[in-house]
Amino acid sequence: MSREEVLFVNEAFYQAFAEGDAAAMDALWAVDLPVACLHPGWEPLVEREAIVASWRAILQDPPPVRCLAPRVFDYGETAFVICFEAIRGQALVATNLFAREGGLWRLVHHQAGPTRAEPPADPQAHEPPTIN
What is the domain range of residue 47?
Answer: 2-131
pTM: 0.89
Q: What is the pLDDT of residue 75?
A: 94
Number of domain units in the chain: 1
Rounded to whole angstroms, the Cα distance separating 23 from 52 reads 9
**Predicted confidence (pLDDT) at residue 131 exceeds the cutoff of 70:** no
Mean pLDDT over 73-102 rounds to: 95
Whole-number Cα distances in Å, 116 to 23, 66, 97, 123, 130:
33, 18, 22, 17, 9
Mean pLDDT of 107-131: 74
Over residues 27-43, the mean pLDDT reads 97
pLDDT band at 118; cut points 50, 70, 90: confident
Q: Average model confidence (pLDDT) for the chain?
A: 91
Confidence band (pLDDT; 50, 70, 90) for 125?
low
Q: Write phi, then psi, for 6 (nearest 5 degrees).
A: -65, -45
Domain with residue 105: its CATH number is 3.10.450.50
